[in-house]
Amino acid sequence: MSRATPVRRRTLADLQRMAAAGERIAMLAVSDATFAALAERGGVHALLVGDSLANTVQGRETTLPVTLEEMVYHTRCVARGSREAFLLADLPFGSFEGSPATAFAAAARLLEAGAQMVKIEGGAPWVAETVAFLTARHVPVCAHLGLTPQAVHEFGGYRVQGRAPEDAARLLAEARRLAEAGAALLVLECIPRALAARVTTEVEIVTIGIGAGAATHGQVLVAYDLLGLTPPPRPRFVRDFLAPAASAEAAVRAYVEAVAAGRFPGAAESY
């Protein structure tokens, strides 16, 4: 009798190899063990414990009130419910702004809870300094540019970013700065697809899009959005994969297949 192949969790190197080979990465934002297991059965490559759980789970208007303790709790839940997917978690608002040392302490909590990488929003010089501090201390970092929800009050709402030439130039410069600081992944949220394509082509970093067109190395959606559970009005980049599917697992699998084939997002779901 042959032994079953042991299950192992995907690594950052696995995602980087996928991107280099032109294989698109399907990521899903989840916050509990049940959704984590569902995502894995559907073939998702990576799971994000996002602070968007403030909206989907806690019923809050913004992500700002989420605490580090809550992120640690939900990261533990997702880690228990998954065995194979790469796992990253958001550093919530207030957990990394004080100093790089503060950010490291918060990141350590998330890694202890089961995350393999932390995500940090923004591209200012001090954010890049924090990224460099973390990566020098063996904490893998995913950066996040474009519409960064933790800056919603600064933006004056959830609006597409990078449309003006000067804003696009700034975002591209920030992406380069973050990559040079050691960030290995970069989430690009709600930016023009042409700009996302340019970042993906010109900056040596794995890009994950959400409302950023199909030219990135991968896509991420919130599980509630993918299943059509989010109350309207829904963002333009959201597609309900459950409506035409026979089950929630089939919906997740359809999402993974659509990402792999470059069919999601489509032109109507991009800016």
Return the number of other C-beta atoms located less than 10 Å from residue 262's C-beta: 12
**Residues annotated as catalytic (active site), given as ranges:** 189
